[in-house]
Amino acid sequence: MAGAIFIPTTFFHFVCIFLCIYDKKKSLILLGYIASFIFLFSDFTPLFITGVSKKLFFEYFEDFGPMYHPFLAMFASFTLYSHYLMFKGFKSETGVRANQIKYILIGTLIGFMGGITNFFLVYNIPIPPVGNCLVTVYIVMVAIAIVKYRLLDINLAFTRVGIFIFVYAFVLGLPFLLGYKYGLWKYATWLMLFLATLGPFIYTRLRRQVEARLLAEDFRKYGILKRFASALARMRDIGLEKLLKLIIYRLVKTMEISCGAIYLSDEEANACIAKAAHVLKGREGIAAVDLPQDNALIRFITTHRKEFLLEDVQRLAAEVKPKNTYPADNPTAHNGINYPEVIAQMRQLNARLVIPSFLDKELLGFLVLGEKASGRPYSEADIEVLLALSGQASLAILNALFTVKLRDREKELADASRIVEIGNLASSTGHQLGNVLNNIMTAGDTILDNDPIMDTLKNNP
């Protein structure tokens, strides 16, 4: 029972990590492990299992002890709560993430329903454990989530399966060897209990070490991009054009992506403009064309509002069911989105991954990335790092745009100030000139009044 005792706690632990709520549920996870170890120690006493007896066609089947009841209550509580959390997560998510949760939820639900049949005979209910075969449904559902919905890098999946087989071949093989070859079944049983307890810890340690070596190059790239993302926050007066070129160059070069481009929304042009692009040597580049706001791809980006792969759009197009409300000539249009046109435009751009950036509800711009030079698909870890970089890049771009607008405003104010100064100078000059003219006119009048020639002319016309 040592392995079964840890099932509810380890399953709950997995669900919390899978749903990214580990920090919120950390205390409950710890409580579950403490309870599991208490049940494990009681498993070596009659408090948990009093003995075995013949039940139905089984020669040996467990008879429960007083500690078995609280264990079953904990098993049911943790399992039901875990499935509730997954259902809640499924309702709050959309797209690929929702599909990942859905397949894990269905698979584990069916698997646990099959596993429940193991408890009936313990309580002398004459129902054999016929549901154990349903556990394979969970394996199938996880495989679908891995392959179809990027739950896990397929290489990592095979690596973990290989490590699991190796560890449990040792855990089960050594006791059976001791029993069958030397007939020491008593010692073999105690050894199996001991190794079964250590098995999960051995597996976890080996998995981490192997994955660290397998993903060493990826971790190096992620480290470079994380440091670059941090440096973006300190770039003040680099200029928008230079900043965009630097971002796309570093991204394409470090991640070894065939090509990439950055698009920014332009209100005056009513379009998304390709501002910067970079291509790896010998690779086909991004078709950097301007995209109007009513473009199918732009409409999909503003509707979807999350990162997406070309495969995601293809899957959505396949999942859309024709309805009478759809246009007769375009059954795959849904919510105003023409999926075939979106797919065609992504292929025209050589785009495999699109990461948008929004400022409130307005589209600031988006990042377009081609396929990886290695030919491998984008993993969840790749996308997480790219999302983090995209967030920092968006802040840097906003800062650069603000700086450009501020400088334009300062120039406008400077021009306006010069115009005001010229106006003031003209006004002052006009006033001074008026004073001079008045003085001239006054002097002229005085001369005319005192001129003897004018007096003679007036007296003798």
- 129-157 confidence digits (pLDDT tens): 888 888 888 888 887 777 666 666 666 77
pLDDT of residue 331: 45
pLDDT of residue 105: 92
pLDDT > 50? residue 454: no
Gap between the Cα atoms of 154 and 147, Å rounded:
7
pLDDT of residue 43: 85
Q: Which of 152, 169, 188 is the last residue of a domain?
A: 152
pTM of the model: 0.59
Q: How confident is the model at residue 15 (pLDDT cuts 50, 70, 90)?
A: very high
Q: Which of 116, 137, 152 is the last residue of a domain?
A: 152
Q: Which of 387, 404, 421 is the last residue of a domain?
A: 404
pLDDT > 60? residue 455: no
Same domain, 224 and 146: no
pLDDT > 80? residue 260: yes
The domain in which residue 227 lies consists of 219-404
- DSSP string covering 248-291: HHHHHHHHTBSEEEEEEEETTTTEEEEEEEEE-TTS-------E
pLDDT, one tens digit per residue, over 411-434 is 666 656 666 566 565 565 555 555
H or E stretch at 355: strand 353-359
- Does residue 110 sit within a domain? yes
Gap between the Cα atoms of 428 and 424, Å rounded:
6
pLDDT of residue 85: 95
pLDDT, one tens digit per residue, over 18-61 is 888 888 899 999 999 999 999 988 888 888 888 888 887 778 88
Gap between the Cα atoms of 186 and 181, Å rounded:
13
- Look up the CATH number of the domain holding residue 386: 3.30.450.40
Residue with tokens 């990162």: 307
Count of domains observed in the chain: 2
Cα of 114 vs its chain's centroid, Å: 33
pLDDT, one tens digit per residue, over 267-286 is 888 888 988 888 887 777 66
pLDDT of residue 241: 85
pLDDT of residue 83: 95
